[in-house]
Amino acid sequence: MAGTSDGGQQDRVVLGSLRENLPFLTRALRAYIRAENAEFFGDLATEHGEIAVLSVIALNPGISQNDLAATLVFKKSAITKLVKELEARGLIERAKVVADKRFNALQLTAEGQLRYQRISERVAAQHAALFETFTEKERRQFFDLLNKLYAHLGERQAQRTGLSAAIAGEGDD
């Protein structure tokens, strides 16, 4: 039975099948990562979703809001709100595409590009700390498997909903 030992340390709790339960592990990891990132986000004064949105737009200039929402698995209304906020802060701009006026092409402004660069440097440092227990090979394998699962679940979602998952690989080997 788990409890407190004489030394004040919590005894090891047996997790059983939870060690391979994806919803449990992702929720627990998210809680740990949020705690690790509290100072990080405070220093950068970022809004929820801002880092992901700026990153995807930086890597995909001209992306549509719909593709951005699908890629980040955000509701379209949440992306619309975030895009408006980032636009008001001068970090991104929307431009109508000549061929289809309904389509907003998103891109970073010069200020947005600078913010993306600063955030990217901090993210790299944060990831180095989070993954210090992994070898470089283990880290690559970990992310290869996570990205494989991400793509697979995106495809399943697309099949269920009929909506594009808008997920592309990174030069698959």
Residue 26 and residue 5: Cα distance in Å, rounded?
28
Q: Which fold has domain 49-129?
A: Arc Repressor Mutant, subunit A (1.10.10)
| pLDDT digit string, tens, across residues 108-126 | 999 999 999 999 998 898 8
Contact 69, 76 (CB under 8 A): yes
Distance of alpha carbon 62 from alpha carbon 60, whole angstroms: 6
What are the structural domain ranges in the chain?
15-45, 49-129, 131-163
104 in helix, strand or coil? Answer: strand
Structure tokens at 137: 């090979």
Tens-digit pLDDT profile for residues 63-79:
999 899 988 989 989 99
Q: What mean pLDDT do residues 115-138 have?
A: 94
- Mapping DSSP onto H, E and C, the string for 59-98 reads HCCCEEHHHHHHHHCCCHHHHHHHHHHHHHCCCEEEEEEC
User: Which pLDDT score, from 0 to 100, does residue 7 have?
Assistant: 47
Q: Cα dihedral sign for 113, 117, 118, 122?
A: positive
Kindly report the pTM of this predicted structure: 0.76
pLDDT at 99: 78
pLDDT in tens, 79-118: 999 999 999 999 999 988 777 777 889 999 999 999 999 9
